Amino acid sequence: MPDAPFVSTFIAIGLLPVAALFIHAFLSGLRGWGYHRLTGVLAIVWDLGMSIGYMLFRVFGGEVEGSTLELTGGILAYFIVHGIMAVIVITLEFTVLFTGWARSKERPVGDWHPKLSKVLFVLWWGAFLSGELFYLVYYVL
């Protein structure tokens, strides 16, 4: 079992509250509960900060110190798919923020916000769970 790098542990733990916020925002949007906007914006901004921060860290030469993970073909393929999924999620997050803002200002965006929110919810969970499962399988178990 390879040692878990600090940055990977930080991201794996830091995204757990985002999951709770996304659940609340999604369910409150569907059921009309309170604080829908607050938890939705907080979840997206928190996730964007962590995701973009990690990507910038890696792009500008941030080493994942302490990692002894061997990059085989399967792991590299996973990282590529996971990275593409993360970029799609980030794009959707910006779009959902914009359509939510536009709806709150009564600007014409049609019904894009609820549709995109549902897609974002599913894709975010896919990216989140695949990352958490990778972390658990390769660094914990």
Sorted by where each begins, the domain ranges of the chain are 6-140
How many angstroms separate the CA atoms of 138 and 133, rounded?
Answer: 8
pLDDT tens track of the chain, all 141 residues? 777 788 888 999 999 999 999 999 999 988 888 788 899 999 999 999 999 998 888 777 666 655 666 778 888 899 899 999 999 999 999 999 999 999 888 888 888 999 999 999 999 999 999 999 999 998 888
Kindly report the pTM of this predicted structure.
0.87
